[in-house]
Structures are given as structure tokens and as C-alpha cells.
Amino acid sequence: MTNQKSLVIGWLYPELMNTYGDRGNVIVLQKRCQWRGITAEIKEIGIGISDKDFSLCDLFMMGGAQDTQQEVVAKDLTKKKKAFKEAIENGIPGLYICGGFQYLGQYYKTADGNKLPQLGILDMYTENPGRKRLIGNIAIDAQNLFGKKTVLVGFENHGGRTILGNGIKPLGKVLKGFGSNDSAKEEGAIYKNSIGTYFHGPILPKNPELADYLIKKALEIKYGKNFELEKLDNSEEEKARKVIAKRLNINI
């Protein structure tokens, strides 16, 4: 068949940035492509891989990491900044979790006051005040992304507080939980087709609409036209979502 669609999912630093189930996102993206007859190849982008690999990817996913791992990745990523920035500016969709999200900003200030420069692709910064980590189940309304009320549920766990600058919208309003920082009651960030969030590890399994959003955008950028994705049965996903919604006492 000549109209076979295919996507390359670039998984950034899978060995290092995969602290807590982050690969769940990659699995979900791949399966939801395959179940629709779209070929989905996972390309692991690790230490020492060339700039060119960025231009081969149609979609990115980057997870969170521990401090030591994060330092190692930061060093490597700085060398590839140009190619990475180009991809993001060209609208290549991506999902950036926790540490992966923080990298995109201007700087990260550690709990002991050390100001570490980040990639500076997005106008935002993160500070870790050393106060309590923000941990627990969370629900947000991601109207900013979907244009209509769409509840995303998950688990957040972060010490850093991220402040967004101009030109960057939050991913959603916090319905229950903490959000990206202590005051704004907002969570995550949207810049072009890149999405940053503190939803721990696997955000996509219980939020299939977000997974499909990323897949749809990736296809549209690659093939230059609008796509309607074939509907999949999300009843298992709904049941798992409802457990969290019930705990948080919200309607989804």
C-alpha cells in the first residue's frame, strides 16, 4: 500500500531520563499508532548520537531523571541544542516530562542556590526553593490545548517550581492538586506543538486524548494536511481515569 503512514518517535536519553515509568508514554504512542495501521518506529536518542538524528524524528518524548543523570544529559544536550531548537521551532510535537520539561527553560536554580543554565528554548525558568516537594494525584483542565474542557489526570511529584514567561501558555488549569508552582494554579506549558508537564512518568496511558493529539500533530506536520484519527476503544482507559477522578472528587 502506498498510503501507509509512518512516524518516527524520538525517545530522548531513554537510559538516563527514565526515572519512573516514563517509557509508558512511548509504549502508548507506538501502540496507538500501530492499532490504527500507522507504522511507528522508536528511535532512541542517547549520549553521543549526531545532530542529524533530530531531523529524522516526527515526535519527541523525554522523561525525568535523577540529579546525576540530569547533569550528564545536560552536558550532552547542550552540544545538540541547535538541532533540537530547530525541531521545536519547526513545530515538531514533543512531550517533555519533569526534568525533560525543565531543560527547555532558561535556567534551573537548585535548592542550594546554584543557578544552572538550561537550553533556553522556552521562555521560562525553574527554581527549587528546597521546600516540600509537590506530590500527589492531580487533575487539570487542558482547555488551552484542546479548545474545550478536557480533563487530564495523573500524579505529580516535583521539587522545582516553574514560572512561565511571555508567549508560553500553561497546559491547563489545576482542578485538584498543586501544579507547576505554588501560586498560579496552572500546570505545564505549551509552546508551538511542544508540551511540558510535571505529570509523573506515564501521563499518556490515562489521557489517551493527549496521546492522540500528539500523533495527529505529528502526522499533520509530516504529511502537510489535516488528519482525522480513527477512533479506538478507550473503555479501559476511562475506567482507570474514573478511579482517580473519584478520589479527587471531580467529574470527568
Rule CB under 8 A: is residue 232 a binding residue for other proteins? Answer: no
d(CA 36, CA 196): 26
Name which position in 5, 42, 49, 69 contacts other proteins (CB under 8 A).
69
In 33-133, at which residue ranges do the beta strands (DSSP E only) sit? 39-45, 59-62, 94-97, 107-109, 115-117, 124-127
d(CA 134, CA 181): 9
**Crossing angle of the two packed helices 81-89 and 67-79, in degrees rounded to 10:** 80
Please identify, using beta-carbon distances, which residue of 82 and 247 lies nearer to other proteins: 247
Please identify, using beta-carbon distances, which residue of 19 and 194 lies nearer to other proteins: 19
Closest CB 10 distance from other proteins, rounded Å: 18
Please identify, using beta-carbon distances, which residue of 91 and 159 lies nearer to other proteins: 159
Rule CB under 8 A: is residue 201 a binding residue for other proteins? Answer: yes
Name which position in 8, 135, 163, 229 contacts other proteins (CB under 8 A).
135
Rule CB under 8 A: is residue 216 a binding residue for other proteins? Answer: no
Task: Tally helices (H) and strands (E) across the chain.
Answer: 8, 14
Rule CB under 8 A: is residue 22 a binding residue for other proteins? Answer: yes
Name which position in 202, 212, 214, 215 contacts other proteins (CB under 8 A).
202
- Rg of the chain (C-alpha set): 17
Active site positions, annotated: 98, 200
